[in-house]
Amino acid sequence: MTSKGFRFLRPYLCRDLRPLPGVACRAHLRFYSVTRSCNSSFFRIFKRFSTSLSKGEVRQRVEELRSTEGLTYPRIGHDEHSLVCKTFYKHYSILKAGERDNGTRVVLHGMSAGSKLAFVDIVEDGQRIQGLCNFSIIGNSECSAEAFRTFQRLLHRGDILSVTGVPYRSNRGELSIEATELPKLLSPCLHHLPEKLEDKQVRVRNRHTDLLVNQQSANVLRLRSQIIQIVRQFLLNDGFMEVETPILADSASGAIARAFKTTATEFPLRRLSLRIAPELWLKRLVMGGFDRVFEIGRSFRNE
């Protein structure tokens, strides 16, 4: 049973089905109307920046893909020439402008981020490589002009595809892969991937789209991961041992902060708290004989 003042946060824990009294009832209705009602200001903003296709558009795209065998499984298999974009950059960044490595066959998998007909930007893990689809070259590999035009029509921004070709650096100095076969569509995108996403509310509620569209958001996430790895490796090299301490306990201690309270299904009468600091658990380990311990974990403070 939750506190009367905060029942609207976890109504599923309230076993009595009577209407919530007074302020709690109004708070619950206000919370529900803001997060669920299609007439709220958030949903009006979200609809304006929505990346979803209508049901009719999705059905039409699926039919087009099915008619061209674009949904046949399996569409991807093991290939010894497959490289990730980062490795491709590392191996072939020595190519000069206008130079290609015809003796090497390379397969790249990534997301389509371009809108030009004969060029495809392949994006993978923050790396962007241009794919050149020249029919004068692809046509020699049993690719008809109709199949090439169908590929151009079906390819959307955000599709996951596989490009087989040779490393090439364009005359402008951009590292690319020149396709020798018609690229294969591995996973079609059924949403409109926006060019920009600036509204803060939409970015927070669609983090996956924000990471795809805004490179700065993705760089922050990668930087955080690198910082954690550096701190962890520094402590490990210094002889510390990494541990994990409990997150749920009967009481939260180790800092001056208000804790989040919850209950477990098997112990409905026992109040549990999310930890506000791992300090006391680490001190217990020190008292138990583990002198050099550390933990990189989360603390939950209801502030």
- Cα–Cα distance measured from residue 232 to residue 242, given in angstroms and rounded to the nearest whole number: 8
Nearest CA-CA partner of 165 in 82, 69, 77, 74: 82
- Cα–Cα distance measured from residue 37 to residue 29, given in angstroms and rounded to the nearest whole number: 10
Per-residue confidence (pLDDT) for residue 100, from 0 to 100: 74
Q: Give 1-58 as a DSSP string.
A: ---GGGGGG-GGG----SPPPHHHHHHHHHHHHHHH-TTSHHHHHHHHT--BPPHHHH
Residue-level pLDDT, tens digit, the chain, 303 residues: 444 544 544 444 555 444 444 444 443 333 333 333 333 443 343 344 445 566 777 777 777 777 776 666 666 666 677 777 778 777 777 787 777 777 677 777 665 554 434 678 888 777 888 888 877 777 665 677 777 777 777 788 888 888 888 888 887 788 888 888 888 888 888 877 888 888 888 888 889 888 888 888 999 999 999 999 999 999 999 999 999 999 998 888 888 888 999 888 888 888 999 999 999 999 999 999 999 999 999 999 988
Number of H helices, E strands in the chain: 10, 12
Query: Tokens representing 191?
Result: 């949403």
Per-residue confidence (pLDDT) for residue 238, from 0 to 100: 95
Per-residue confidence (pLDDT) for residue 289, from 0 to 100: 93
Per-residue confidence (pLDDT) for residue 113, from 0 to 100: 56
Sequence-distant (6+) residues with CB within 8 A of 162 are 76, 107, 108, 109, 183, 184, 186
Nearest CA-CA partner of 295 in 223, 212, 231: 231
Nearest CA-CA partner of 294 in 217, 219, 238: 238
Which of helix, strand or coil describes residue 270? coil
Per-residue confidence (pLDDT) for residue 1, from 0 to 100: 43
Nearest CA-CA partner of 243 in 283, 282, 284, 289: 282
Nearest CA-CA partner of 181 in 119, 137, 123: 137
- Cα–Cα distance measured from residue 164 to residue 108, given in angstroms and rounded to the nearest whole number: 7
Q: Give 70-105 as a DSSP string.
A: TT-S------TTEE-HHHHHHHHTTPPTT-B-TT--
